[in-house]
Structure 1
Amino acid sequence: MQIRRLVLGIAAVALMPVAAMAEEVVLKVAHFLPPVSPAHTKFIEPWCDKIAAESQGQLKCQIYPAMQLGGTPPQLLNQARDGVADIVWTLPGYTPGRFPVSEVFELPFFTTTHEASSRAMWDFVQKNAMREFAGVKPIATWVNGPNVLHFRDTEVKTLDDLKGMKVRAPSRLGNKLLSALGATPVGMPVPQMAESLSKGVIEGALIPWEVVPATKTHELTKFHAESGDVRAMTTATMIFVMNKKKYDSLSPELRKVIDNNSGRETSAWVSAQFKAADADGRAATVARGNTVYQIPAGEMAKWETAAQPVTDEWIKDISAKGVDGRKLRDEAAALVKQYSK
């Protein structure tokens, strides 16, 4: 009997490393920018390091930047839903029509600071837009910084200057905004933008400062127009989501680690990393000697008036889907105001 117990004890000890190894979960994390981008180094890597530490090494990330799992940026959401990737960072604007309610945060002159607007977006999505996240678990939802107009060769200061110019737009509402302002919008993901600028396919781009260094936009443009308003001319919504089946397959302890690194404050933290990257991108542009300027307040008021039909149309379109578009817009605006205090 003693020998049998000894043998069983030895066997149990021998199996312990195997059990421990079985607990390790490697999460495939995919996104569309190069590994030198601030999103990769300041947000995704630190988040992965944090869940690894809090899970005592049981959760690990294998990061696939620059679409290394294949496909194109607009396919990232499906990759997360289908399990090609376990977690993705992407822009809802890359898949027009799939996030019609949460799109409210991309309306012109709607959002304020990174953190306040991102906290507002998390609360709003949890209450009003979870149907848009079928098949995935939201880890964070946020807005990037105020989008700035970057131009190759022209210093644009008025609506007349902008008229007819071919400008890259970040999303469906970005397209509509540029059209309302008189420009000719050209929708495309960020990775395609640099080549289009260098070849003159587009004359400008509507993007936040943070993507400028990674895409070399400051080397391809000379003039950079900021709105100068506390409210952004427009932003892009962003999401960090996990395959729901993968999340459900985790042990309760590991799900708790994911939960502890998800939510309103995680969304605000992510947006703060983009805020810091915005400052770095602007500084790099100024250091290069490019012209950075603000549209005068009186002129910007004309831009805001010209953009109002974009909001009116969004309300009408959402209401046609059987929900109260104006109520949703007002609720989102109230949340932005609440967190901006």
Structure 2
Amino acid sequence: MKTLKIRGQVLAALALLTTQSAMAQEVTFKIAHFLPGVAATQKAVLQPWCDEMGQLSNGRIKCQFYPSMQLGGTPAQLADQVKNGVADIVWTAPGYSAGRFPRTEALELPGVLPLGGLSGGRAAWEFYGQHLQTEYKDYKVLAMHGDGGMNIHTAKKPLNSAADFKGIKLRSPNRTIARSLTALGATPVAMPPAQVTEAIAKGVVDGASAVWEVLLPTKLDEVTKYHFETPAERPVMGATILVVLMNKQKYESLPADLKAIVDKTSGLPLVERYGKVWDEAAVAARNKVKAAGHVVTVVSGSNYDAILKQLEVVEKEWLADAKSKNIDGEALLAAAREAARKQSR
């Protein structure tokens, strides 16, 4: 009996030490993305998010950032980098990996998401929870948000209507927007944000589809003069969906209390951080280019309607692709529009 009592005491002590060790565990998340460190995604969203997790964990959660693809590879490879453990967390656009996340593209189609980072982000997160979890089963998804809506920035030629797109070369961020530009008569050129400014300066492209948020950190405002955007009360002409993905094994390896902190601060709270910052960045960029004498054109009602009409072919192409992959595209698109409608009230 005495031996059993001692053995029980030893086991209890070991259990206590194991618990204390888990409670004392510290972790440093390697976070990678494709924009410079001064961009809003790191400076105004991910860094404050990391700071909050650090405070809630009494300093046990830390972050090390690798902006501008410092871990190597291309933006299209970020999804694989986090899946394979090269990074613990990445911020990327699923659309950079063309065709890999086909259900997500429903949110990027013309006339679906509402204008704005906050409303678009909330719609995207609701849609993810209802329809996209299987598509991201290999990841721990910490956030999904919209980019605020497709804007076009050009160096020499102002855009006012669908006809103005004919014959120009424009950078496209994803397959859906590339199809939209083609439907409007432009030539889409795929390239990551870091290469766009130089490409415009050298005349490789005439402009770019890019959101207001990336304009200043990439210095796109220094090589463009004309800016074309969606009216505030209408759905966007196109979008790029962005995600914060975490390595699933890294998340599962965390002690329970650190998992709880990650869960508490991510999801909708992180989506809303992005949305608010994106909307603020859009105002700042718009004001800066206007003060510099640039021309900002909000496409007028009749021109907007004509553009959306011309872009109906993009939706048809996506539905055909979805059908070929045994995806119920009609149902997904209806659900995406309903999620967006709720945020447009």
Q: How does 1:185-224 map to 2 (within 5 A)?
A: 185-224=188-227
Partner of 1:5: none
Q: Sort the Cα spacing of 1:295 and 1:339 in 2 relative to 1 into closer, same or farther, 3 A.
A: closer
Q: CA deviation at 1:269?
A: 2.4
Provide the residue aligned with 1:3 in structure 2.
Answer: none
The Cα offsets for residues 25-46 of structure 1, whole Å up to 9 and x where unpaired, read as: 0110111111111111111111
Q: Distance in 2 between matches of 1:125 and 1:287?
A: 38
Mean Cα displacement is larger for which, 111-120 or 303-312? 111-120
Aligned residue for 1:312?
A: 316
1:235 aligns with 2:235: no
Deviations 1:282-330 (A, max 9, x none): 1111121111122222122111100011112212221222232111100
In 2, Cα distance between the equivalents of 1:214 and 1:42?
A: 13
Separation in structure 2 between the aligned mates of residue 319 and residue 124 of structure 1, nearest angstrom? 19
Aligned position for 2:57: 55
Query: CA 1:340–1:265 in structure 2 vs 1: closer, same or farther (change >3 Å)?
Result: farther
Provide the secondary structure at the position in 2 that maps to 1:336: helix
**Post-superposition shift, 1:21?**
9.8
Q: CA deviation at 1:20?
A: 8.5
Tell me whether 258-267 or 23-32 shows the greater mean CA deviation: 258-267
Mapped contact 1:117–1:340 kept (Cα < 8 A): no
Deviations 1:6-37 (A, max 9, x none): xxxxxxxxx99x95996110110111111111
Alpha carbons 2:112, 2:336 under 8 Å: kept: no
Of 240, 265, 270, which aligns to 1:266? 270
Match of residue 136 from structure 1: 139
Asked if the contact 1:77–1:88 (Cα under 8 Å) also holds between the matched residues in 2, the reply is: yes
**Please, which of 122, 127, 143 is the counterpart of residue 124 of structure 1?**
127
Percent identical: 38
List alignment gaps of at least 5 residues for structure 2: 1-16
1:152 & 1:285 partners in 2: Cα distance?
13
Match of 1:332 in 2: 336
- Counterpart of 2:296 (choices 292, 295, 305) is 292
3-state SS, counterpart of residue 296 of structure 2: strand
Query: What TM-score does the superposition give when structure 1 sets the normalisation length?
Result: 0.91
Q: Secondary structure at the match of 1:309?
A: helix
Tell me which moved more, 319-328 or 44-53.
Answer: 319-328
Aligned positions, number: 327
Partner in structure 2 of residue 155 of structure 1: 158
**Residue equivalent to 1:110:** 112
RMSD: 1.9
